[in-house]
Structure 1
């Protein structure tokens, strides 16, 4: 079928539904939500965009991966045939349906907001897909329409959808809506289901059967679940551990069969020792598996190992084979040389963690582009082949090709090689937005934490089962360090001056002293004692958490600041065991900066491991690694997911510091703000990563001041080495223009930023009105960088709006409170009767009796 049974329209309420919806086909994203939603979609998800603004850059949406875009008739006219009709859907009002046929040569479908009950049965336009949306849909009626009124597709806002097995009077079940059109011609009512591997698209893994019950569970859990004809519901991998991560579910053209695309984990799909139920993979899929295996097992010094580790050798081989392919003449020779080139090209991919599926995704993404470059060869290669008459070809041929430098974080592969376009934030005026639009400004990227937790489970479980041996194996696999021991114990060696220059050591000392001074001031030095009534004394006293784990990201990265921010409060709090986990460098060593801090803060054990495996080791303990009671520290999504996993496992009995998300800053600026300072503060956050959240709230800014700030953002960003990352973060960022300081503070408190910077005339006085923020930076000369490194406050702060509920890490984070009470005999005479009466009222006679017997003794 050409259109899906239903098309989910993403709204701010739909974040939790995205993982399930992405399995079933495209989702429709309003253009105002694209930047917030795209980072949260699974990589394989397809999407349409609904243009909501007259100035939307439609070509850009299509170039960046949107399969289709919904446009108005005026936007369609402005496009002037630039976009293939297959990519365009025309949005019409109910009264405009009659003109749809006039546009049939320019579009592939129409999108009509109408009373579906009568429109769905009467609206049929040859060669056009029909998308219908009811302004106030009834879920049970919708379900019946999906069953009976195909081929129309129904646009349903996610506020009316639910990840549940059954439809209710208020919400339509995702799985029921997807399965509504399906039919079966089998006596048992089951549907044939082809299962294919997400990593190998050439040959299916096998043929199974599904029922509505199994498909529903598969969608809701994002796992491979089928219907065994003998044993009932079959949850793949439930007993063997060979689970399947579900990537997509599709109906065939006749609605009587299904395809499941999965990532197969564990021993495999077939019960026989072969890749699929139809035999082993062959050709390029087999080569991919072989190269992956050789990457792990090839002996040091072998030619195969050199192919993966010697970049110059691999570069030379790729260029050599490419030239030989170009020189080949006969069909056999061309096939032979093409096979050689594919071998070395795929070796390059595998060595960098790129799969054939990734290459296919890149091809699919390129096929969606509307804007195409001219396509001529780059001058370097034109000159190499054609020459330029002055010998330049020969000289260039002898020069090595300079490898492109890349930033230290992944960035979208669609970046142009040189992008001189203006780096600009989006502007909105808060008073001109309705409540729903204002709510969208508060959105952060949706974190699919459940999917990530499923991915880290096998890693954590391996550490739990195999202990130190499993930990060493994964450190070798992920960090390329072959360790004799997973830990480093004190006394730690003092780094030499060559390893740690004097000026760096002094900077660390300043940061350590300031952070320690501030955190010592937070410590409670004496118990709280209160006499609640005569003879009844209640107290509360503090004790350190005995064993804590602090995670410092980065093996090649140098992060002494994080070691200080986590190690100092643990030291001040009096924790007896401090385990510092950090990935080792390939030679097994720890960066001298982190090692120096570990010595300063009194770390009792350095765990040379990173990622989910380090979290698992600290949570459960091994023979070498002490088990801890609470884990602190930032990290990537694998670390965050592992922390969330272990804190909910009663066997681990471990707490974590706080939920984590992308870093963020909100700057409030008025007429006194220095545009250079404001831009620098915004960019200091934007360079963290493409998902960083950057917001400027401007109070009655003049057009000139606003223009100066925007100019400085563009100028300063282009001078940064991480400009590509900053550019992407700024694209998703927003300037919110407000009329008053009160309006700015209200917006900030609702947003609850991790970092709040106040560029205000009377910044100090405004602090008393701040209710929600991780840390506040007051005045023009208080950049966030100071708090990140050395002013004294802690830089481990709540993100994603959690500043409403959580504090940043502090001394008390590493301590716990215990209460006590002392009741004298006279005190019990006063208090006892009330306790007895309440216990009797609750029916807890033993509680009452414990007081009665004492009162009886005192009355003798």
Structure 2
């Protein structure tokens, strides 16, 4: 939810006699209120009463630290609540069921040191509130140095009213200003000594237009676009002053919408987009419409619910006597009966078309009821918005008269937090099922969408400060983050160097033999990928071109820790590095709470000749490998999978020219797609699906069922549930299966069409004549052919690499292979004859491009040959 550059602070207990009215504040979208133990009860009344006028930014850091009252404020409709660090830590407990995006961390009053700011940014990615700022220049300098992009939002209030110049300076560094409403005005010509809302608001905007105007989208209260216009600082000020739609005509100056046509606009609010370069005016359009052609919008007449509301409102005022709509308005009993009739028909509808048809009927009668009661679509949407902000929800059972007179016996259960793996610890584990013949291609895209990840702004807000700290403070920052995030406070050093003590590699004979076997197979497969000799081609007489491979000298291999120890990843990354001949191999992996590393990883590091093991994970490990520290060698390429923070950090450092480091590929949560036909064993199919579902709650598994009957589909579902319930990681499986799907198709061709669209990390073919079907594979990380090839063999011991592209990147990337660890260098060698054959073409092309030195480099040599002859 984007916030505004200016947020008026309002005293809801003793409303101020001067300054902005509540109506004027509502035009700015956001309002700031400070809630204390003394006014808490009044706040719980004020927020619901004025909900819909504002988005509420509530300062609550002085409330009790148990979190109960903050939860109530959120439940009442507060958009974002400012908390203390102690409150924030408590509210992150899953039992509170609070979306962290609705929380902001307050820096304690009186603390404005650079260290306070840095610590606050590290503690939360959700925004920082800096109260009672006295030294504006200091805060401006800190924000300017910290950077204005990809950082948490910063909200600032002031010890005393700032000057307009101070407000402008802070706007330039993307701060959101909280200024007392009694010090603000929308009419600075009339009210001297007050700060102009329009001046401050407009200063937070950017324009890349030569005329300095701001692109402005005008919408109604349902968000339907009425038209596109332009705004200027003056038109914004005038719109806020008059409470109407005022814009900047590029030909005629200020344009008071409807001044001559009568199609005026009542201003509801102004919003700024995420980049600060586009405005959205929400208005109540009067008259015939926005467009000069007398249509409601510049894109033609309205459609959908907005059009329905307009039609019903018109009919309510002047419906022809005897019309059906007039009869509904005049006969409440008939209207009630139709609503109940259509609701029943909707409940009984089965097909997609029938559900859509019956829902449309129900909406028609429901909106007839709304219009007859003076309720608008905006009123309905306002209530939906209010319900969406609820933290505490009702039990949700149906009333007895709708359950055949039997009171529902379902026990009340708390609503789990988003993406929780423990949504139902006893219920059936089952994938959602869809039939490709019954859904559109667009719906199929939505069904196959991967589990949502945190927003890039949220991720980057956490990752960037970590990278910056490690880059600047080296070992000190790396150790601090490792102690904090990996919960090993006694760790003294983050680097373990070769040679590794035998005591660190104590393994059972069985595990050691398994690693050795896997090592040999992976080595054989990757050694076979070596280029036998350089490529050499004579492109024309006397012109020889070649390409030869050289290993990347220094590689950093990231081995995740997290919910599972992954020595297999150490093998998959380390063995190809050894085969390629990389001179320096560095492992990085999160330590255990006692500060040690798993013996399997140490043993593999020893086998592949890794110079060091960095005992760290996350963005801090990536940064240490990218930039180097006092004890961590800098590398040239970073490889290995990880969570969203690892992936984001890899992307950041690879784009930093100061790091000069590359990465293998973007990576996301693990995934598998299984294509199964009537020949597939249900137990095998279920086991392959579960082998990826157990990786993490953000993993996804997909089954493409080729022409399976209901009984065959049920057999797979039964196996999935039975096998899952026997797994020790069943709670993680539940989370993954919750966003996993079965898609039933009618042919093998359609199955591969869906698979190639999804581009899975792992593709398993449990179909007749599976090997012959491999030619149909266009997008996949690795393919597992036939019923005797579970994905597990590729993860560990077959020889292929398991570090593969996920999240659809198999459309662009290969999995890790020997080529990942080498770079190719080309060479050219020309004889005198070759230069004579090639020279004129080179000179002609250089002349076309205007690069005369290029042309002369050839001409001088050709002239020399002529003289020598």
Name the residue aligned to 1:581: 588
State the match for 1:198 in structure 2: 104
In 2 relative to 1, CA 128–737 (structure 1 residues): closer, same or farther, beyond 3 Å? farther
Q: Which one of the candidate residues 591, 595, 602 is aligned to 2:609?
A: 602
Distance in 2, matches of 1:594 and 1:371, equals 52
- Aligned pair partner of 1:676 in 660, 678, 683: 683
Q: Which stretch shows the higher mean deviation, 623-632 or 634-643?
A: 634-643
Partner Cα separation in structure 2 for residue 859 and residue 200 of structure 1:
79
* Corresponding residue for residue 434 of structure 1: 440
Note the alpha carbon deviations across 1:121-165, whole angstroms, 9 max, x for none: xxxxxx999xxxxxxxxxxxxxxxxxxxx9899xxxxxxxxxxxx
- Matched residues in 1 for 2:766 and 2:4: separation? 42
Following the alignment from structure 2 to structure 1, what is the Cα–Cα distance between the partners of residues 758 and 646?
Answer: 25
Residue 658 (structure 1) aligned with residue 665 (structure 2): yes
Q: Say which of 486, 490, 495 aligns to 1:482.
A: 490
Matches within 5 A, 1:754-769: 754-769=761-776
Once the 2 structures are TM-superposed, how far is the Cα of residue 556 of structure 1 from its aligned partner?
Answer: 8.7
Task: Determine helix, strand or coil for the equivalent of 1:465.
Answer: helix
> Are residues 1:849 and 2:784 paired?
no
Residues 495 and 596 of structure 1 are in contact (CA less than 8 Å); yes or no, is this contact kept in structure 2?
no
Q: Is residue 640 from structure 1 mapped to residue 608 from structure 2 by the alignment? A: no
Aligned counterparts, 1:673-712, within 5 A = 673-712=680-719
Corresponding residue for residue 759 of structure 2: 752
2:451 aligns to what?
445
Q: Deviation of residue 494 (structure 1)?
A: 2.6
Q: Aligned partners of 2:715 and 2:102: how far apart in 1? A: 55
Q: Which residue of 2 aligns with 1:229?
A: 164
Q: Distance in 1 between matches of 2:491 and 2:173?
A: 34
The match for 1:491 is 499
1:717 aligns with 2:740: no
Is contact 1:424-1:730 (8 Å) kept? yes
- Structure 1 residues 653-662 or 817-826, which shifts more? 653-662
Deviations 1:435-454 (A, max 9, x none): 32122233223442343122
Displacement of 1:638: 1.9
Shift of 1:202: 12
Corresponding residue number in structure 2 for 1:523: 530
* Aligned pair partner of 2:620 in 582, 595, 613: 613
2:633 paired residue number: 626
Contact 1:531 1:537 in 2 (8 A): yes
- The question of 1:774 aligning with 2:781 is answered yes
| Cα distance change, pair 775–376 in 1 and its aligned pair in 2 (3 A) | closer
How many angstroms does 1:663 deviate by? 1.1
In structure 2, relative to structure 1, the CA distance for the partners of 1:685 and 1:22 (3 Å cut) is: farther
Measured after TM superposition, the shift of residue 525 of structure 1 is 2.9
- Do the aligned partners of residues 621 and 678 (structure 1) sit closer, same or farther apart at CA in structure 2, a change above 3 Å counting? same
Whether the 8 Å contact between 1:411 and 1:724 is mirrored in structure 2 is no
Q: 1:233 to 1:551 in 2, by over 3 A?
A: farther
Is the contact made by 2:527 and 2:579 (CA closer than 8 Å) also made in structure 1?
yes
- Please, which moves more after superposition, 723-732 or 368-377? 368-377
**SS of residue matched to 2:474:** helix
Q: Distance in 2 between matches of 1:410 and 1:579?
A: 37
> Is the partner of 1:558 in helix, strand or coil?
coil
Check 1:483–1:201 CA distance in 2 against 1; reply closer, same or farther (3 A cut): closer
Q: Deviations over 1:662-681 (max 9, x none)?
A: 21111001110000000111
Rounded to whole Å, the distance in 2 between the matches of 1:556 and 1:736 is: 29
Per-residue deviation, 1:364: 5.7
Residue 474 (structure 1) shift: 2.3
Query: Structure 1-normalised TM-score?
Result: 0.56
Indicate how the Cα distance of structure 1 residues 740 and 811 shifts in structure 2: closer, same or farther if over 3 A, else same.
Answer: same
SS in 2 for 1:665: strand
Taking a change above 3 Å as real, the CA distance of residues 201 and 713 of structure 1, as seen in their structure-2 partners, is: farther
Output the CA distance in 2 between the equivalents of 1:734 and 1:712.
15
8 Å CA contact 1:662, 1:800 repeated in 2: yes
Confirm or deny: 8 A CA contact 2:549 2:824 kept in the other structure: yes
Is the contact between residue 669 and residue 697 of structure 1 (CA under 8 Å) also seen in structure 2?
yes
Go from structure 1 to structure 2 and tell me whether the alpha carbon gap of 1:746 and 1:228 turns closer, same or farther (over 3 Å shift): farther
The Cα shift of 1:483 comes to 3.8
Quote the offset at 1:703 in angstroms.
2.4
Matched position secondary structure for 1:597? helix
Q: 2-side partners of 1:725 and 1:375: how far apart?
A: 25
SS of residue paired to 1:785: helix
Residue aligned with 2:442, SS: helix
Determine if contact 2:151/2:460 at 8 Å carries over to the other structure.
no
Distance 1:427 1:375 in 2: 25
Q: Which stretch shifts more, 470-479 or 694-703?
A: 470-479
- Summarize deviations over 1:237-272 as a string: whole Å, max 9, x none: 9699x9xxxxxxxxxxx9999999xxxxxxxxxxxx
Match in the other structure for 2:556: 549
Structure 2 counterpart SS, 1:631: strand
RMSD: 4.2
Per the alignment, in what secondary structure is the counterpart of residue 588 of structure 2? strand
| Distance change (3 Å), C-alpha of 1:224 and 1:851 | same
What TM-score do the two structures reach when normalised by structure 2? 0.56
2:429 is matched with which residue: 423, 430, 433? 423
Contact 2:421–2:731 (CA<8 Å) still a contact in 1? no
Residue 537 of structure 1: aligned partner: 544
Give, in angstroms, the shift of residue 432 of structure 1: 1.9
Asked if 1 retains the 8 angstrom alpha-carbon contact of 2:672 and 2:689, the reply is: yes
Q: Structure 1 pair 234/636, CA: closer, same or farther in 2 (3 Å)?
A: farther
* Number of aligned residue pairs: 530
Q: Report SS of the residue matched to 1:198.
A: strand
Give ranges in structure 1 of 5+ residues lacking alignment: 1-18, 25-126, 130-149, 154-177, 179-194, 243-253, 261-360, 379-408
Q: 1:687 to 1:365 in 2, by over 3 A?
A: farther
Aligned match of 2:828: 821
Residues 821 and 666 of structure 1: CA distance in aligned 2, closer, same or farther (over 3 Å): same
Indicate how the Cα distance of structure 1 residues 775 and 20 shifts in structure 2: closer, same or farther if over 3 A, else same: farther
The whole-number CA distance in structure 1 between the counterparts of 2:466 and 2:636 is 20
The Cα shift of 1:231 comes to 2.7
Residues 580 and 605, structure 1, Cα contact 8 Å, conserved in 2: yes
What are the superposed Cα offsets for residues 524-573 of structure 1, whole Å, 9 maximum, x if unpaired? 23100011001100000001111110011227953210110110111111
Q: Provide the residue aligned with 1:798 in structure 2.
A: 805
Instruction: Find the aligned partners of 1:851 and 1:730 in 2 and give their Cα distance.
Output: 65
1:606-652 deviation per Cα after TM superposition (whole angstroms, max 9, x unaligned): 11222211111111011211100110111222212211111111111
CA distance in 1, matches of 2:102, 2:515: 53
Structure 2 gap segments, 5+ residues each: 7-48, 56-78, 80-100, 110-128, 135-142, 157-161, 178-242, 244-266, 273-386, 399-407
Q: What is the alpha-carbon distance in structure 2 between the residues aligned to residue 152 and residue 362 of structure 1? A: 15
How far off is 1:728 after superposition?
A: 2.5
Residue 463 of structure 1, CA deviation: 1.2
Aligned twin of 2:192: none
Structure with larger Rg: 2
- Would you say 1:562 and 2:492 are equivalent positions? no
Distance 2:430 2:512 in 1: 38
Task: State the distance in 2 between where 1:438 and 1:375 align.
Answer: 33
Alignment of 1:351-500 (within 5 A): 365-370=391-396, 412=420, 415-416=423-424, 418-419=425-426, 421-447=427-453, 448-479=455-486, 480-495=488-503, 499-500=506-507
For 1:745 and 1:435, the matched residues in 2 are separated by 14
